[in-house]
Structure 1
Protein backbone atom coordinates (compact mmCIF):
# COMPACT_ATOMS: atom_id res chain seq x y z
CA UNK A 1 0.00 0.00 0.00
CA UNK A 2 2.79 2.41 0.95
CA UNK A 3 4.59 1.76 -2.34
CA UNK A 4 1.42 2.46 -4.30
CA UNK A 5 0.90 5.79 -2.51
CA UNK A 6 4.53 6.73 -3.12
CA UNK A 7 4.13 6.04 -6.83
CA UNK A 8 0.98 8.16 -6.96
CA UNK A 9 2.73 10.98 -5.11
CA UNK A 10 5.68 10.85 -7.52
CA UNK A 11 3.33 10.97 -10.53
CA UNK A 12 1.41 13.85 -8.96
CA UNK A 13 4.66 15.66 -8.17
CA UNK A 14 5.89 15.24 -11.75
CA UNK A 15 2.56 16.39 -13.17
CA UNK A 16 2.44 19.48 -10.98
CA UNK A 17 6.12 20.21 -11.67
CA UNK A 18 5.55 19.94 -15.42
CA UNK A 19 2.56 22.27 -15.14
CA UNK A 20 4.71 24.82 -13.31
CA UNK A 21 7.53 24.49 -15.85
CA UNK A 22 5.11 24.81 -18.77
CA UNK A 23 3.45 27.89 -17.28
CA UNK A 24 6.85 29.42 -16.51
CA UNK A 25 8.17 28.86 -20.03
CA UNK A 26 4.92 30.22 -21.50
CA UNK A 27 5.15 33.38 -19.36
CA UNK A 28 8.81 33.78 -20.36
CA UNK A 29 7.86 33.50 -24.05
CA UNK A 30 4.99 36.01 -23.67
CA UNK A 31 7.31 38.42 -21.86
CA UNK A 32 10.01 38.20 -24.52
CA UNK A 33 7.54 38.55 -27.40
CA UNK A 34 6.02 41.67 -25.82
CA UNK A 35 9.51 43.11 -25.32
CA UNK A 36 10.54 42.36 -28.92
CA UNK A 37 7.36 44.02 -30.21
CA UNK A 38 7.87 47.00 -27.90
CA UNK A 39 11.46 47.58 -29.01
CA UNK A 40 10.43 47.14 -32.65
CA UNK A 41 7.36 49.38 -32.70
CA UNK A 42 7.60 51.88 -29.83
CA UNK A 43 9.70 55.02 -29.62
CA UNK A 44 11.47 55.31 -26.24
CA UNK A 45 9.75 57.79 -23.93
CA UNK A 46 6.81 58.36 -26.29
CA UNK A 47 3.55 57.38 -24.54
CA UNK A 48 0.94 55.47 -26.58
CA UNK A 49 -2.51 55.31 -24.89
CA UNK A 50 -4.15 51.86 -24.96
CA UNK A 51 -7.13 52.26 -22.62
CA UNK A 52 -7.65 56.00 -22.30
CA UNK A 53 -5.54 57.31 -19.43
CA UNK A 54 -5.77 54.00 -17.56
CA UNK A 55 -3.14 52.03 -19.51
CA UNK A 56 -0.47 53.21 -21.91
CA UNK A 57 2.65 51.88 -23.56
CA UNK A 58 5.85 53.80 -22.87
CA UNK A 59 9.15 52.11 -23.72
CA UNK A 60 12.00 52.58 -21.26
CA UNK A 61 15.16 50.65 -20.41
CA UNK A 62 15.44 50.21 -16.66
CA UNK A 63 18.97 49.71 -15.26
CA UNK A 64 17.65 49.02 -11.74
CA UNK A 65 14.85 47.12 -10.06
CA UNK A 66 11.29 48.15 -9.28
CA UNK A 67 10.72 51.90 -9.58
CA UNK A 68 14.24 52.26 -11.01
CA UNK A 69 15.86 51.70 -7.60
CA UNK A 70 19.35 50.28 -7.46
CA UNK A 71 20.47 51.39 -10.90
CA UNK A 72 24.11 51.18 -9.84
CA UNK A 73 23.95 47.54 -8.72
CA UNK A 74 22.53 45.76 -11.77
CA UNK A 75 25.04 42.93 -11.35
CA UNK A 76 23.61 42.21 -7.88
CA UNK A 77 20.11 41.89 -9.36
CA UNK A 78 21.49 39.61 -12.07
CA UNK A 79 23.19 37.30 -9.57
CA UNK A 80 20.09 37.27 -7.36
CA UNK A 81 17.93 36.40 -10.39
CA UNK A 82 20.26 33.53 -11.33
CA UNK A 83 20.07 32.14 -7.78
CA UNK A 84 16.28 32.59 -7.68
CA UNK A 85 15.95 30.81 -11.03
CA UNK A 86 18.00 27.89 -9.69
CA UNK A 87 15.80 27.86 -6.58
CA UNK A 88 12.69 27.69 -8.76
CA UNK A 89 14.15 24.77 -10.70
CA UNK A 90 14.80 22.87 -7.47
CA UNK A 91 11.30 23.69 -6.22
CA UNK A 92 9.82 22.28 -9.45
CA UNK A 93 10.84 18.82 -8.28
CA UNK A 94 9.24 19.21 -4.85
CA UNK A 95 5.84 20.82 -5.31
CA UNK A 96 2.61 18.83 -5.08
CA UNK A 97 -0.19 21.42 -4.89
CA UNK A 98 -1.79 23.07 -7.91
CA UNK A 99 -1.57 26.57 -6.44
CA UNK A 100 2.15 25.99 -5.81
CA UNK A 101 2.52 25.14 -9.50
CA UNK A 102 0.76 28.32 -10.60
CA UNK A 103 2.72 30.55 -8.21
CA UNK A 104 6.04 28.88 -9.03
CA UNK A 105 5.37 28.96 -12.78
CA UNK A 106 4.57 32.67 -12.67
CA UNK A 107 7.57 33.39 -10.46
CA UNK A 108 9.92 31.38 -12.70
CA UNK A 109 8.60 33.06 -15.86
CA UNK A 110 8.89 36.53 -14.36
CA UNK A 111 12.35 36.11 -12.90
CA UNK A 112 13.77 34.55 -16.06
CA UNK A 113 12.05 37.15 -18.26
CA UNK A 114 13.91 39.98 -16.56
CA UNK A 115 17.09 37.89 -16.28
CA UNK A 116 17.13 37.39 -20.07
CA UNK A 117 17.15 41.20 -20.40
CA UNK A 118 19.94 41.60 -17.86
CA UNK A 119 22.04 39.07 -19.79
CA UNK A 120 21.25 40.10 -23.38
CA UNK A 121 20.51 43.84 -23.34
CA UNK A 122 23.03 46.69 -23.42
CA UNK A 123 25.28 47.85 -21.93
CA UNK A 124 26.80 44.40 -21.13
CA UNK A 125 26.01 40.85 -20.02
CA UNK A 126 24.70 40.79 -16.44
CA UNK A 127 24.56 44.60 -16.54
CA UNK A 128 21.77 44.82 -19.13
CA UNK A 129 18.82 47.14 -18.74
CA UNK A 130 15.37 45.58 -18.39
CA UNK A 131 12.83 46.55 -21.05
CA UNK A 132 9.66 48.04 -19.50
CA UNK A 133 6.61 49.29 -21.39
CA UNK A 134 3.33 49.21 -19.45
CA UNK A 135 2.33 52.45 -17.78
CA UNK A 136 -0.59 53.20 -15.47
CA UNK A 137 -1.20 56.59 -13.82
CA UNK A 138 0.93 57.46 -10.79
CA UNK A 139 2.94 54.25 -10.91
CA UNK A 140 6.23 52.94 -12.27
CA UNK A 141 6.54 51.63 -15.82
CA UNK A 142 6.69 47.82 -15.75
CA UNK A 143 6.66 44.73 -17.97
CA UNK A 144 4.94 41.34 -18.25
CA UNK A 145 7.63 39.66 -16.13
CA UNK A 146 6.93 42.14 -13.32
CA UNK A 147 3.22 41.29 -13.52
CA UNK A 148 4.03 37.58 -13.24
CA UNK A 149 6.25 38.13 -10.19
CA UNK A 150 3.64 40.34 -8.51
CA UNK A 151 0.79 37.88 -9.09
CA UNK A 152 2.98 35.02 -7.81
CA UNK A 153 3.78 37.01 -4.66
CA UNK A 154 0.08 37.72 -4.18
CA UNK A 155 -0.77 34.02 -4.50
CA UNK A 156 1.90 33.11 -1.97
CA UNK A 157 0.63 35.72 0.52
CA UNK A 158 -3.01 34.66 0.12
CA UNK A 159 -2.08 30.99 0.48
CA UNK A 160 -0.06 31.78 3.61
CA UNK A 161 -2.97 33.66 5.17
CA UNK A 162 -5.40 30.85 4.30
CA UNK A 163 -3.03 28.27 5.78
CA UNK A 164 -2.83 30.30 9.00
CA UNK A 165 -6.64 30.56 9.19
CA UNK A 166 -6.96 26.83 8.55
CA UNK A 167 -4.40 26.07 11.29
CA UNK A 168 -6.22 28.28 13.80
CA UNK A 169 -9.53 26.61 12.97
CA UNK A 170 -7.97 23.17 13.46
CA UNK A 171 -6.59 24.27 16.83
CA UNK A 172 -10.04 25.51 17.89
CA UNK A 173 -11.64 22.19 16.88
CA UNK A 174 -8.95 20.21 18.71
CA UNK A 175 -9.35 22.29 21.91
Structure 2
Protein backbone atom coordinates (compact mmCIF):
# COMPACT_ATOMS: atom_id res chain seq x y z
CA UNK A 1 0.00 0.00 0.00
CA UNK A 2 1.37 3.42 -0.91
CA UNK A 3 1.77 6.27 1.51
CA UNK A 4 -1.09 8.17 -0.17
CA UNK A 5 -3.42 5.17 0.14
CA UNK A 6 -2.54 4.76 3.83
CA UNK A 7 -3.34 8.43 4.45
CA UNK A 8 -6.70 8.07 2.68
CA UNK A 9 -5.76 10.42 -0.17
CA UNK A 10 -6.82 9.53 -3.73
CA UNK A 11 -4.03 8.30 -5.99
CA UNK A 12 -3.40 9.11 -9.65
CA UNK A 13 -3.23 6.43 -12.32
CA UNK A 14 0.31 5.17 -12.89
CA UNK A 15 0.44 6.44 -16.49
CA UNK A 16 0.57 10.06 -17.55
CA UNK A 17 -3.13 9.89 -18.44
CA UNK A 18 -6.14 7.81 -17.59
CA UNK A 19 -7.31 5.19 -20.04
CA UNK A 20 -10.50 5.82 -21.94
CA UNK A 21 -12.22 2.92 -20.18
CA UNK A 22 -11.82 4.59 -16.78
CA UNK A 23 -13.87 7.61 -17.88
CA UNK A 24 -11.56 10.04 -16.11
CA UNK A 25 -11.18 13.63 -17.20
CA UNK A 26 -7.99 14.53 -19.07
CA UNK A 27 -5.01 15.19 -16.83
CA UNK A 28 -2.80 18.24 -16.84
CA UNK A 29 -3.16 21.76 -18.17
CA UNK A 30 -4.25 22.70 -21.65
CA UNK A 31 -1.30 22.84 -24.00
CA UNK A 32 -2.29 25.72 -26.27
CA UNK A 33 0.76 27.71 -25.21
CA UNK A 34 3.05 24.88 -26.30
CA UNK A 35 1.20 24.51 -29.60
CA UNK A 36 1.54 28.26 -30.29
CA UNK A 37 5.21 28.37 -29.25
CA UNK A 38 6.13 25.43 -31.51
CA UNK A 39 4.07 26.91 -34.37
CA UNK A 40 5.73 30.33 -33.97
CA UNK A 41 9.20 28.76 -33.87
CA UNK A 42 8.54 26.64 -37.01
CA UNK A 43 6.97 29.60 -38.82
CA UNK A 44 9.72 32.08 -37.98
CA UNK A 45 12.46 29.58 -38.84
CA UNK A 46 10.80 28.90 -42.19
CA UNK A 47 10.17 32.58 -42.93
CA UNK A 48 13.71 33.59 -41.98
CA UNK A 49 15.26 30.84 -44.09
CA UNK A 50 13.15 31.82 -47.10
CA UNK A 51 14.02 35.50 -46.76
CA UNK A 52 17.70 34.59 -46.55
CA UNK A 53 17.79 32.21 -49.50
CA UNK A 54 15.74 34.51 -51.74
CA UNK A 55 18.07 37.42 -50.94
CA UNK A 56 21.29 35.40 -51.28
CA UNK A 57 20.59 32.52 -53.67
CA UNK A 58 17.84 33.40 -56.10
CA UNK A 59 19.19 33.88 -59.64
CA UNK A 60 22.52 32.34 -58.60
CA UNK A 61 24.06 28.92 -59.10
CA UNK A 62 23.06 26.29 -56.52
CA UNK A 63 25.26 25.91 -53.45
CA UNK A 64 26.61 22.41 -52.98
CA UNK A 65 26.27 21.37 -49.33
CA UNK A 66 27.28 17.69 -49.70
CA UNK A 67 28.57 17.35 -53.24
CA UNK A 68 25.76 16.41 -55.56
CA UNK A 69 23.80 14.74 -52.73
CA UNK A 70 22.45 17.97 -51.23
CA UNK A 71 22.28 21.46 -52.65
CA UNK A 72 20.55 24.74 -51.84
CA UNK A 73 18.70 25.95 -54.92
CA UNK A 74 15.77 28.39 -54.97
CA UNK A 75 12.68 27.19 -56.79
CA UNK A 76 9.24 28.83 -56.78
CA UNK A 77 6.71 26.02 -56.50
CA UNK A 78 3.09 26.87 -57.28
CA UNK A 79 2.00 23.25 -56.89
CA UNK A 80 2.39 20.56 -54.26
CA UNK A 81 5.28 18.17 -53.67
CA UNK A 82 7.27 17.31 -56.81
CA UNK A 83 5.58 20.27 -58.55
CA UNK A 84 2.32 18.34 -58.93
CA UNK A 85 -0.79 20.44 -59.51
CA UNK A 86 0.75 23.79 -60.42
CA UNK A 87 -2.58 24.93 -61.85
CA UNK A 88 -4.27 24.23 -58.49
CA UNK A 89 -2.55 26.85 -56.32
CA UNK A 90 -5.85 28.19 -55.01
CA UNK A 91 -6.90 24.67 -53.96
CA UNK A 92 -3.67 24.24 -51.96
CA UNK A 93 -4.27 27.63 -50.35
CA UNK A 94 -7.76 26.57 -49.27
CA UNK A 95 -6.42 23.25 -47.94
CA UNK A 96 -3.78 25.08 -45.85
CA UNK A 97 -6.47 27.38 -44.45
CA UNK A 98 -8.67 24.36 -43.64
CA UNK A 99 -5.78 22.69 -41.79
CA UNK A 100 -5.34 25.85 -39.70
CA UNK A 101 -9.05 25.91 -38.83
CA UNK A 102 -9.01 22.20 -37.92
CA UNK A 103 -6.02 22.69 -35.62
CA UNK A 104 -7.76 25.64 -33.94
CA UNK A 105 -10.79 23.41 -33.25
CA UNK A 106 -8.66 20.59 -31.83
CA UNK A 107 -6.68 23.04 -29.68
CA UNK A 108 -9.74 23.76 -27.53
CA UNK A 109 -9.44 20.26 -26.02
CA UNK A 110 -5.66 19.91 -26.16
CA UNK A 111 -4.05 18.48 -23.00
CA UNK A 112 -1.37 16.24 -24.53
CA UNK A 113 2.17 17.65 -24.86
CA UNK A 114 3.12 15.35 -27.79
CA UNK A 115 -0.05 16.38 -29.65
CA UNK A 116 0.70 20.04 -28.94
CA UNK A 117 4.14 19.64 -30.50
CA UNK A 118 2.79 17.74 -33.52
CA UNK A 119 -0.04 20.21 -34.14
CA UNK A 120 2.35 23.13 -33.60
CA UNK A 121 4.63 21.77 -36.32
CA UNK A 122 1.67 21.38 -38.68
CA UNK A 123 0.36 24.85 -37.87
CA UNK A 124 3.73 26.55 -38.29
CA UNK A 125 4.38 24.75 -41.57
CA UNK A 126 0.92 25.47 -42.92
CA UNK A 127 1.29 29.17 -42.06
CA UNK A 128 4.74 29.25 -43.66
CA UNK A 129 3.57 27.93 -47.00
CA UNK A 130 0.29 29.86 -46.81
CA UNK A 131 2.25 33.10 -46.34
CA UNK A 132 4.10 32.37 -49.59
CA UNK A 133 0.88 31.58 -51.45
CA UNK A 134 -0.74 34.81 -50.26
CA UNK A 135 2.12 37.29 -50.52
CA UNK A 136 4.71 36.07 -53.01
CA UNK A 137 4.49 36.87 -56.70
CA UNK A 138 1.97 36.89 -58.34
CA UNK A 139 0.11 37.12 -54.99
CA UNK A 140 -3.57 36.73 -54.22
CA UNK A 141 -3.71 33.00 -53.37
CA UNK A 142 -1.48 32.13 -56.34
CA UNK A 143 2.04 32.85 -55.07
CA UNK A 144 4.83 30.35 -55.51
CA UNK A 145 6.17 28.67 -52.38
CA UNK A 146 9.92 29.14 -51.98
CA UNK A 147 11.62 25.74 -51.92
CA UNK A 148 15.38 25.50 -51.59
CA UNK A 149 16.55 22.24 -49.96
CA UNK A 150 17.42 20.03 -52.93
CA UNK A 151 18.52 16.47 -52.14
CA UNK A 152 19.62 14.35 -55.09
CA UNK A 153 16.81 12.40 -56.76
CA UNK A 154 14.10 13.91 -54.56
CA UNK A 155 11.73 16.88 -54.49
CA UNK A 156 13.02 20.33 -53.56
CA UNK A 157 11.42 21.42 -50.27
CA UNK A 158 11.63 23.99 -47.47
CA UNK A 159 11.52 24.05 -43.66
CA UNK A 160 7.72 24.46 -43.62
CA UNK A 161 7.41 21.23 -45.58
CA UNK A 162 9.76 19.54 -43.11
CA UNK A 163 7.66 20.76 -40.17
CA UNK A 164 4.47 19.48 -41.82
CA UNK A 165 5.98 16.05 -42.52
CA UNK A 166 7.43 15.73 -39.00
CA UNK A 167 4.13 16.85 -37.41
CA UNK A 168 2.16 14.42 -39.57
CA UNK A 169 4.54 11.56 -38.77
CA UNK A 170 4.23 12.30 -35.05
CA UNK A 171 0.42 12.33 -35.31
CA UNK A 172 0.48 8.91 -36.96
CA UNK A 173 2.67 7.54 -34.15
CA UNK A 174 0.45 9.09 -31.46
CA UNK A 175 -2.66 7.68 -33.12
CA UNK A 176 -1.17 4.19 -33.31
CA UNK A 177 -0.22 4.42 -29.64
CA UNK A 178 -3.82 5.37 -28.78
CA UNK A 179 -3.07 8.85 -27.39
CA UNK A 180 -5.76 11.42 -28.05
CA UNK A 181 -5.25 15.20 -28.13
CA UNK A 182 -7.26 15.53 -24.91
CA UNK A 183 -4.71 13.36 -23.10
CA UNK A 184 -6.71 10.14 -22.87
CA UNK A 185 -5.18 6.83 -23.93
CA UNK A 186 -7.16 4.15 -25.75
CA UNK A 187 -5.96 0.60 -25.32
CA UNK A 188 -7.64 -0.96 -28.33
TM-score (norm 1): 0.83
Shift of 1:45: 6.9
Preserved contact between residue 115 and residue 174 of structure 2 (Cα < 8 Å)? no
Report the Cα distance in structure 2 between the residues aligned to 1:9 and 1:158, rounded to whole angstroms: 20
Preserved contact between residue 46 and residue 59 of structure 1 (Cα < 8 Å)? no
Report the Cα distance in structure 2 between the residues aligned to 1:167 and 1:38, rounded to whole angstroms: 46
Q: Corresponding residue for 2:107?
A: 92
Report the Cα distance in structure 2 between the residues aligned to 1:99 and 1:54, rounded to whole angstroms: 32
Report the Cα distance in structure 2 between the residues aligned to 1:67 and 1:142, rounded to whole angstroms: 9
Report the Cα distance in structure 1 between the residues aligned to 2:171 and 2:60, rounded to whole angstroms: 34
Q: Corresponding residue for 1:133?
A: 148
Q: Corresponding residue for 1:74?
A: 89
Larger helix percent: 1
Q: Corresponding residue for 1:5?
A: none
Say yes or no: does 1:57 pair with 2:72: yes
Return closer, same or farther for 1:85/1:44 CA change in 2, 3 Å cut-off.
farther
Return closer, same or farther for 1:29/1:160 CA change in 2, 3 Å cut-off.
same
The counterpart of 2:187, out of the listed 164, 167, 173, is 167
Superposition CA RMSD, Å: 2.0
Which runs of 5 or more structure 2 residues have no equivalent in the other structure?
1-24, 180-185
Q: Corresponding residue for 1:30?
A: 45
Q: Corresponding residue for 2:29?
A: 12
Preserved contact between residue 28 and residue 111 of structure 2 (Cα < 8 Å)? no
Which runs of 5 or more structure 1 residues have no equivalent in the other structure?
1-7, 169-175
Report the Cα distance in structure 2 between the residues aligned to 1:158 and 1:45, rounded to whole angstroms: 40
Report the Cα distance in structure 2 between the residues aligned to 1:72 and 1:132, rounded to whole angstroms: 17
Q: What secondary structure does 2:178 align onto?
A: helix
Q: Corresponding residue for 2:132?
A: 117
Report the Cα distance in structure 1 between the residues aligned to 2:73 and 2:130, rounded to whole angstroms: 21
Preserved contact between residue 146 and residue 158 of structure 2 (Cα < 8 Å)? yes
Preserved contact between residue 44 and residue 58 of structure 1 (Cα < 8 Å)? no
TM-score (norm 2): 0.78
Q: What secondary structure does 2:187 align onto?
A: helix
Q: What secondary structure does 1:12 align onto?
A: coil
Q: What secondary structure does 1:28 align onto?
A: helix
